[in-house]
Each structure stands twice: as structure tokens, then as C-alpha cells.
């Protein structure tokens, strides 16, 4: 009897088809996640609009400064660890994103500073174009370096 149960379990649990179904759902999950994030940011701006309007310029300036500092610190950490250029760039971006997420989580959940939500939302909206420009610049630089290597005689 146990052999029959094991065979039935093996038949029902097909790991490859499970993995394929998960991989097939990734684009939809990514779209839902982006939609949920955009909705969350919009709701924060709607709910906290008065606080945002009161200090918009200073909040944006602080967010830009914080993004630039954390990107620089992450890149410096990558240099200190002697990582490759691609890994240094990844650490810089990850350092910037993760530190803000942790700071927002601690401020709101543990300390009860709900006004920090506004800064977190502004930070996200400010950080996104800076990070995208950095990624674009890194990719262009990387492609120009690889094309120079291909053109130069060995």
C-alpha cells in the first residue's frame, strides 16, 4: 500500500509543471505588484497631500540628497570589497533601496511616525528616475566598453 501512495504522490506532484506554472505567472505578478505599488503611492499622496504640499521642495531636496548619498555609500562599499564594476553598481542600487525601506518600516511600525510615509513616497518617486538614469548610463558605458574591446586588435 505505501508504494501505491508514493506512486500516486509522484504522479500528482510534477515539479517541472509546477515550476513552469510559477514562471508563467511571473509577468502577471510583476504587473499586479507594480500596480499595487503605484496605488499605494497615490493613496499616500492623496491622504497626506496637505503635509506634502507644506514641505514639498525641502522633502524632494532631502530625498535627492539621500538617494545620492546612499548610492555613493553603496558604491564605496563595493570598492572597499573589491567587487567587479557590475557588482559595485548592484550594491549601490541595493544599498539605496534597502536602507530607505528599512527606515520607513521602522519609522512607521515601531515608532508610529506616520508622517514618514510621505517622505518614503516622495523618496520612492524621486529615487525611481535617478536609479533608471543610473542603470541607463551604466548599460551604455558597459556596451561602449565592450564595443571598444571588440574593435581593438588583440
pLDDT in tens, 136-145: 888 888 777 7
Phi, psi of 2 (to 5 degrees): -60, -35
Question: Alpha-carbon distance 9 to 12, whole Å?
Answer: 5
120 Cβ contact partners less than 8 Å away, ≥ 6 residues apart: 44, 100, 103, 104, 107, 108
Q: Look at residue 132 in the predicted model and tell me its pLDDT.
A: 87
* Sign of the dihedral through C-alpha 86, 82, 127, 68: negative
Say how many C-beta atoms besides its own lie within 10 A of residue 85's C-beta: 13
Q: What is the pLDDT of residues 55-98, one digit of tens each?
A: 778 878 888 888 889 889 999 999 999 999 889 989 998 888 87
Amino acid at each position: 500500500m505505501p508504494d501505491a501512495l508514493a506512486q500516486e504522490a509522484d504522479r500528482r506532484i510534477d515539479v517541472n509543471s509546477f515550476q513552469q506554472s510559477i514562471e508563467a505567472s511571473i509577468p502577471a505578478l510583476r504587473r499586479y505588484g507594480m500596480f499595487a505599488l503605484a496605488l499605494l503611492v497615490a493613496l499616500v499622496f492623496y491622504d497626506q497631500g496637505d503635509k506634502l504640499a507644506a514641505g514639498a521642495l525641502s522633502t524632494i531636496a532631502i530625498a535627492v540628497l539621500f538617494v545620492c548619498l546612499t548610492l555613493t555609500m553603496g558604491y564605496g562599499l563595493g570598492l572597499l570589497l573589491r567587487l567587479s564594476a557590475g557588482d559595485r553598481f548592484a550594491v549601490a542600487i541595493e544599498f539605496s533601496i534597502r536602507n530607505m525601506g528599512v527606515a520607513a518600516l521602522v519609522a512607521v511600525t515601531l515608532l508610529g511616525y506616520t508622517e514618514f510615509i510621505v517622505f518614503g513616497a516622495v523618496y520612492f518617486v524621486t529615487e525611481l528616475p535617478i536609479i533608471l538614469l543610473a542603470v541607463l548610463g551604466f548599460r551604455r558605458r558597459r556596451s561602449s566598453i565592450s564595443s571598444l574591446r571588440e574593435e581593438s586588435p588583440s
